[in-house]
A and B are shown apart, each in its own frame.
Chain A
Amino acid sequence: MAVISEARPARRRLPRRILISQGLIQIFLIGMVVVAIFPFIWMIFASLKPFKELVESRALLPETWTLRNYEEILGRVNFVAAFRNSIVSAVSVTVVSVFTSSVMGYIFSKYRFVGKEVLFTIILSTMMVPFAVIMVPLYITIANSFGLADHLGGIIITGFYTAFGIFLMRQFMESIPFELIDAARIDGASEWRIFFTLVLPMSLSPMSALAVFVYLFNWDSFLWPLIVLNSQDNQTLPLVLAGLRNLWWTRYEMWAAGSMLTVVPVMVIYSFASRYFIRGIAMTGLKA
């Protein structure tokens, strides 16, 4: 930011050496953007082509535009249910875990009790255990003790707490001054009130960062839903999409249409909120 605002007034008198290097940087970055974006552009048009044309033609744009692929895929696969499942699980995990992380971050940074550091260290160290280690015992617990096999609840309940989130929120809340909280206590505010009206509003930016992180992770989650969810009506979007590979072995236009259906809603959200996504990732990188 600082660089941009400094550069503006002086732009006209930039020395040639800097102009050339800036030009080269621009060309390089545009090239990278093309590499990142082009596959999606291709996918948009591929989903609108008939099969024969997709296989034979070299052109990017379709000769005959058609929506048949979308009709066929929506008729055969229950994308609406998959969508609902994905949104329900990702949103509820995000809401609950951002809340629990904030509360625990507050408690771990501002409370004193016996065994606090030990508990925090143990919770943090669970992050180092690969998911493969706990997936079998966790599945047995979910299936046998909770009866949540092939149930969306099995995905949601395992996401209620995240060690990473607790760590991130504690890091941030260490910087909230004790005096502020004590002043609120002297004024007679209850702990709940202090948390919701004082601590939370001060922590919105790390919370949004964490929310982005948790949401991306859960929206894309594949292995755990693959284990828990078996019947098609209960499956999330990634599982249903992966199933297209077996349903239509080489009908790429159907793959493209299915991928489009999953990608477009995310892209719409991203086009409005990209700033928060990037700030979220950047902030977690700097804090961690």
Chain B
Amino acid sequence: MTSIAGGSGASGRAETMGVWFVVKKTLRKPQFWFGFTMIVPLLIWYWIFSFWPIIQAFRMSTVAYKLLDPTNSPFVGIGNFLKISQHPLFLVSVKNTILWAVYSFIFHLPLAMLIAVFLSKVRRGRNVYQALIFVPVVVSLVAVSLLFKMLMDPEVGQLNKLLSGVGLPELQWLSSSSSALPTAVIIATWKGLGFYVVILTAGMMNIPSELYDAALVDGTNPWQQFWRITMPLMGHTILLITVLLAIGSLQEFTLPTVLFGSEGGPGNSTYLYNMLIYQEAFLDIRFGTATAASLLQFAFILAISILQIKLIRPSWSY
């Protein structure tokens, strides 16, 4: 295959003969045919279902897309971007999405770290605990949404019955505009925590135990061991988790949609950015502005990821 690209030169008969020889030799190799039959479908698939849609997205964001006559859609430049930024729910959804991501970090990271530390330290039953804590990850997110909507019903839900049973004031949970968003993130945390716990525990079990033995000999307490050994050596894993959390929470869609429908929460309080894109695209059928909105999201997520990698990436590894 090497020679196919470089064989066009007219620099002498001998060389063309050489090139022809290499081509013939390559064609006779079984590796060539195996690679060829595997790479060609990959290229076709990636072109149709990945590269071409991405290219199309950039083109669509600059036109007022006509559904019935797409090729004649008028060019509007950055018009779609201006239009989406003036959408009445644009700022609300951006604010909610950022809040969602912030709450996600606050609820996920410390708790997942704590559970992982205990799981890596426990001497009996680690596998059973891990398997049970992981259960919510396996279960369908839609079932989880329905389940918690039932449990958190302010009138008849089990959680408020539990609270009033022990003499605590009942909460509004998902039904008030001030508590709906954090409550929804709590549900997301309940569902997703096991995933991060497993990754973190695996990382911690990978730290050589000699390091802790040495630290013990030096008379350190568990607190110091955590901050001086566990945290620095977990740098890569924590970076992975923060990037995954950011990418996931900035694209959240399913949970708030199933909990509240496509308008999101009381008073739009859980209306997220992806719900705005979905509404623009498939409910209001404005493909141009929807794609423009999604490109803004792309740029934002890219910037956040790069920032995280720059900030958190450990300067060394083991």
What residues make up the interface of A, taking CB atoms closer than 8 Å to B? 2-4, 7, 21-22, 25-26, 28-29, 32-33, 35-37, 39-40, 42-43, 46, 54-56, 58, 100, 103-104, 107, 111, 113-114, 122-123, 126, 128-138, 140-141, 145, 157-158, 160-161, 190-192, 195, 216, 219-220, 222-223, 227, 237-238, 241-242, 244-245, 252, 255-256, 258-259, 262-263, 266-267, 270, 274-275, 277-278, 281-286, 288
Of B43-51, B100-108, B177-185, B310-318, the stretch lying at the interface with chain A is B43-51
A282 touching B201 by the CB < 8 A rule?
yes
Q: List 19 A-B contacts (CB under 8 A).
A: A29-B125, A33-B133, A36-B190, A46-B150, A107-B38, A122-B51, A130-B251, A132-B293, A133-B57, A133-B297, A136-B57, A140-B70, A158-B49, A191-B33, A222-B253, A238-B140, A238-B254, A266-B139, A277-B134
A7 touching B123 by the CB < 8 A rule?
yes
- In the complex, A140→B2 CA distance in Å? 37
A216 touching B129 by the CB < 8 A rule?
no
B237 touching A37 by the CB < 8 A rule?
no
A113 touching B150 by the CB < 8 A rule?
no
- Taking chain A's interface residues, is the majority helix, strand, or loop, or is none over half, making it mixed? helix
Closest-CB distance, B219 to chain A (whole angstroms): 14
Contacts of B258 in A (CB 8 A): 222, 242, 245
- In the complex, A223→B137 CA distance in Å? 18
Output the nearest chain B residue to A18 by Cβ-Cβ distance: B123
- In the complex, A132→B206 CA distance in Å? 36
What residues make up the interface of B, taking CB atoms closer than 8 Å to A? 1-2, 4-5, 30-31, 33-35, 38-39, 42, 45-46, 48-54, 56-57, 60, 70, 115, 118-119, 121-127, 129-143, 145-151, 153, 156, 158, 161, 165, 190, 194-195, 198-203, 206, 209, 237, 240, 247, 251, 253-254, 257-258, 261, 274, 277-278, 281-282, 287, 290-291, 293-295, 297-298, 301-302, 305
- In the complex, A282→B165 CA distance in Å? 40
Closest-CB distance, A140 to chain B (whole angstroms): 8
B142 touching A136 by the CB < 8 A rule?
no
Partner of B237 from the list A104, A114, A285 (CB cut-off 8 Å) is A285
B39 touching A107 by the CB < 8 A rule?
yes
Output the nearest chain A residue to B31 by Cβ-Cβ distance: A191
- In the complex, A263→B139 CA distance in Å? 6
B142 touching A242 by the CB < 8 A rule?
yes
Known pairs A122-B51, A278-B134; list 16 more (Cβ under 8 Å).
A22-B122, A28-B118, A35-B190, A39-B151, A40-B147, A43-B150, A113-B1, A128-B302, A191-B30, A216-B137, A238-B141, A242-B142, A244-B146, A245-B149, A256-B150, A277-B138
- In the complex, A106→B48 CA distance in Å? 23
Partner of B148 from the list A7, A39, A104, A244 (CB cut-off 8 Å) is A39
A133 touching B136 by the CB < 8 A rule?
no
* Known contacts A28-B118, A54-B156, A288-B240: A130-B297 contact under CB 8 Å: yes
List the 3 closest A-B pairs by CB distance, nearest first.
Answer: A285-B199, A282-B202, A191-B34
Closest-CB distance, A72 to chain B (whole angstroms): 16
Closest-CB distance, B55 to chain A (whole angstroms): 8
- In the complex, A145→B47 CA distance in Å? 14
- In the complex, A133→B228 CA distance in Å? 42
Contacts of A107 in B (CB 8 A): 35, 38-39
A190 touching B30 by the CB < 8 A rule?
yes
A223 touching B240 by the CB < 8 A rule?
no
Output the nearest chain B residue to A166 by Cβ-Cβ distance: B42
Closest-CB distance, A107 to chain B (whole angstroms): 6
Output the nearest chain B residue to A4 by Cβ-Cβ distance: B123
A131 touching B305 by the CB < 8 A rule?
no
Contacts of A195 in B (CB 8 A): 34
Output the nearest chain A residue to B198 by Cβ-Cβ distance: A281
B274 touching A132 by the CB < 8 A rule?
yes
A104 touching B42 by the CB < 8 A rule?
yes
B254 touching A136 by the CB < 8 A rule?
no
Output the nearest chain B residue to A29 by Cβ-Cβ distance: B129
B240 touching A25 by the CB < 8 A rule?
no
Closest-CB distance, A283 to chain B (whole angstroms): 8
- In the complex, A46→B159 CA distance in Å? 14
A132 touching B277 by the CB < 8 A rule?
yes
Contacts of A219 in B (CB 8 A): 140
